[in-house]
Amino acid sequence: MRRHGLTVIFGLVVVAFFALVAAQYYAWTSFEAYCQVRAAELCLVVGLFAVFYVVAGLCRLIDYCRWKLHQFRQSRLKRADRSSRAAQK
């Protein structure tokens, strides 16, 4: 659920950037200046996407490592429980 919320927020940021591009198109008098601004904003949006996917990948990696650690701890507890039961018999 947390990742879905981040995706929605990031999507809204991208839509805001494209709205800004459209607004600046009407503000600029020359087409060349508009193209330069649009190229810079496109690089910014692509950079934001890259950062978002790197952060999402790191979050997934951390979740996976936590899950594996939890599994490892559970297996150690089960093993210790079995050995203590065997020692009691």
| Sign of the dihedral defined by the CA atoms of residues 49, 52, 56, 61, in that order | positive
47 contacts 17 by C-beta, under 8 angstroms: no
How do residues 15-62 score in pLDDT, each as one tens digit? 777 777 777 666 666 677 777 777 888 888 888 888 888 888 888 899
Per-residue pLDDT tens digits for 49-89: 888 888 888 888 999 999 999 999 998 888 877 777 777 76
pLDDT at 32: 75
Q: Would you state the pLDDT for residue 10?
A: 76
pLDDT at 1: 46
- The pLDDT value given to residue 3: 60
